[in-house]
Amino acid sequence: MLYPSVPRSYKTVLLILLFFSSFLYADRSKNSDNNIEKIDRNFAPSKFGDIKPAYMNALKKPFVLEGFAWFDKEGLLNRIPKNVDRKDVNYGVISLAAHTSGGVVRFRTDSPFITLRARLNKTTPIFGHMPDTGSSGFDLFCETNIYLKTVNPRHNAHATPDVLEVLLYKKSKNSPRKMRDYSLYLPLYNGVKTLEIGVEADAKFESVRPHKIPKPVLFYGSSITQGACASRPSNSYVAMLARKLDFPMINFGFSGSAKGEKKMAQLIASLDLAAFVLDYDYNAPDIEHLKKTHEPFFKIVRKAHPDLPIVILGKIEAGKSARADVIRKTYENAVAAGDKKVWYVPSPELVKGVDMSYMLVDGCHPNDLGFYVMFKNVLPVLKKALESSADGNLGAQKKEAGN
């Protein structure tokens, strides 16, 4: 019983006051002078004003979708084919395949503004230690490397609406209207049900500029490969490398679930790639599992593609370990067998240049600085690997420049 010593009439009054005060407090919180969006307008959602966008399905032409190798055949924003099931891979892979990590929509238009309208699979916060802008947000770039906007999925009423509608870009009043290439990076840890781009009704479209390296580079690995815990989709080390070297990426990062199954190696081997980055270690449950799977995984891909550049990564750790020895042995055995298309970035090299206490969110997953350090340390190795291959195109460009 509530407050047994208080007369019944007082109890009724008290309950009524408590009921209405909850609404008053909520309204006060919403309109409080402490509301950060009133203090700093940079935190406020973008407003459309007099803009009237004409929406187009961003998964159809003239838009170009990257990162989903089986989309043309199946029409799904899924990173693995729909016929892969539990007999082939662990449940985590099947569940996380709907996350759009590595997905990019590219287009070229002269529209004076660009808006986004999307529906996400999950509208509630996903992590406590990773920003929603990374797990469920979108990034817009123009001309490959000019950053324009990050979509905060919970800006509207501080919760992700069923339909997320955001102004991504609006040209300044005095700037000329011209054709520009745009790249929209999709969420790292959420799925996308529908995706539309809004433009001026009379906007023109042209074919997007081709990548310098036309074939994709595929990355296979753990939650770090998938992008945890970047603050934005474009800040994963995978996305940074793709943007810098200008290639389409396929992200096979599966949080807690990259366990080196034969089926995953076969899927990778079935694709026509410019290079393959094997970032597999973290999710092997123990060293014996790693020994049984790491080199066989490498060999399945190598057998299907004898000349494919393959870069093997260690894990994020400052020193040596028995698990690192397993990874290094895969590389050394390949070199001893005459493989001239394999490279290795050992653990200490992966994290060199910064105190590790600055680069991790939780002792394991990189923050943006951590991903930048990984990017900088993998970059020269991956660039060299791509220069060794005609498919990588960097090699051909280098020869042409020399001539």
Q: pLDDT tens for residues 381-399?
A: 999 999 998 776 555 555 4
Q: Is the pLDDT of residue 6 over 70?
A: no
Q: Is the pLDDT of residue 193 over 80?
A: yes
- Say if 54-67+104-205 and 217-402 have the same CATH topology: no
Q: Is the pLDDT of residue 334 over 90?
A: yes
Confidence (pLDDT) at 41 = 60
Distance CA 84, CA 254 (A): 15
| AA identity, residue 230 | A
Token duo for residue 82: 């729909």
The dihedral formed by the CA atoms of 333, 376, 133 and 218, expressed in degrees to the nearest 10: -30
Q: How confident is the model at residue 318 (pLDDT cuts 50, 70, 90)?
A: confident
CA dist 316 → 153, 280, 329, 381 (Å): 30, 12, 18, 17
| AA identity, residue 202 | D
Confidence (pLDDT) at 218 = 98
Contacts of residue 231, Cβ cutoff 8 Å, sequence gap at least 6: 131, 133, 134, 367, 368
pTM (2 d.p.): 0.87
Q: Is the pLDDT of residue 169 over 90?
A: yes
Spell out the domain ranges in the chain.
Answer: 54-67+104-205, 217-402
Q: How confident is the model at residue 29 (pLDDT cuts 50, 70, 90)?
A: very low
Distance CA 98, CA 192 (A): 8
User: Is residue 403 packed enough to be buried (19+ CB in 10 Å), middle (13-18) or exposed (0-12)?
Assistant: exposed
Q: Is the pLDDT of residue 328 over 70?
A: yes
Average pLDDT score over the chain: 89
| CATH code of domain 54-67+104-205 | 2.60.120.260
Confidence (pLDDT) at 144 = 83
User: Is residue 45 packed enough to be buried (19+ CB in 10 Å), middle (13-18) or exposed (0-12)?
Assistant: middle
Please indicate whether residue 160 or residue 102 has the higher confidence score (pLDDT): 102
| CATH code of domain 217-402 | 3.40.50.1110
